[in-house]
Amino acid sequence: MRTIFDYHFRADTHPKKVNLGVGAYRTDEGVPWVLPVVSKIEKELANDASLNHEYLPINGLPEFCDAAAKLALGDDSTALKEGRAGGVQALSGTGALRLSAEFLFRYFGGEATTIFYSKPTWGNHLDIYKAAGFTKLEPYTYWDNETKAANIEKFISGLCFTVF
């Protein structure tokens, strides 16, 4: 699936451009490019017999989840100190979105059945929310196609108008 970002990336002639629209680095031919450091570490991990290859707990590696929560909320977070926040590990952004959609619908679906999604977005994002049970999906805009940049005013006014 091509997005608006793909077309702008291809049209950009800057020699040091990087396409982060998919969350992956790509070559000029559009195929994934693996960072050399990633290839190096993959080889080291594959050859390290001391590593534990046991399955992770259902919520993921606890140390990773704790570190991610501290990174997102801050070391001094009241919610973390009071044990009211935590996290789970997911495979990819799409996997995380699926987990969050299931969580939101299961615990708040009866009260909040509307999901607001960014426009533009990836096509599978809407399917993920529908599969979780949400029936009302409302777009908000953040992208200005004329300036090829985020439009913060449009973003805030769209959300504020929609919510209030």
* In a shared domain, residues 79 and 125: no
Question: How would residue 10 be classed by pLDDT, with cut points 50, 70 and 90?
Answer: confident
Token reading at 76 = 């001094």
101, 117 in Cβ contact below 8 A?
Answer: no
The pLDDT value recorded for residue 1 is 44
The pLDDT value recorded for residue 37 is 95
Q: From residue 65, how far is each of 71, 80, 87, 97 by CA, in Å? A: 10, 12, 5, 16
* In a shared domain, residues 99 and 160: yes
Percentage of the residues of the chain whose pLDDT score is greater than 90: 43
Q: What is the pTM of this model?
A: 0.66
Question: What would the pLDDT profile of 72-97 be if each residue is shown by its tens digit?
Answer: 999 999 999 999 998 999 988 899 99
State whether the Cα torsion 148-150-152-154 is positive or negative: positive
For residue 135, give the nearest of 109, 104, 107 by alpha carbon.
109
* In a shared domain, residues 136 and 158: yes
Q: Is residue 94 helix, strand or coil?
A: helix
Place of tokens 């929560």: 69
Question: How would residue 108 be classed by pLDDT, with cut points 50, 70 and 90?
Answer: confident
- Please give the Cα distance from 99 to 132 (Å, whole number): 9
The pLDDT value recorded for residue 154 is 86
* In a shared domain, residues 125 and 149: yes
Q: Is the pLDDT of residue 13 over 90?
A: no
The pLDDT value recorded for residue 6 is 64
Domain span at residue 12 reads: 1-54
Burial level of 31, CB count in 10 A (0-12/13-18/19+)? exposed
Q: Is residue 117 helix, strand or coil?
A: strand
Half-sphere exposure of 33 (CA within 13 A, CB side): 11
* In a shared domain, residues 15 and 63: no
Q: For all residues of the chain together, what is the average pLDDT? A: 85
* In a shared domain, residues 11 and 67: no
**How many domains does one find in the chain?**
3
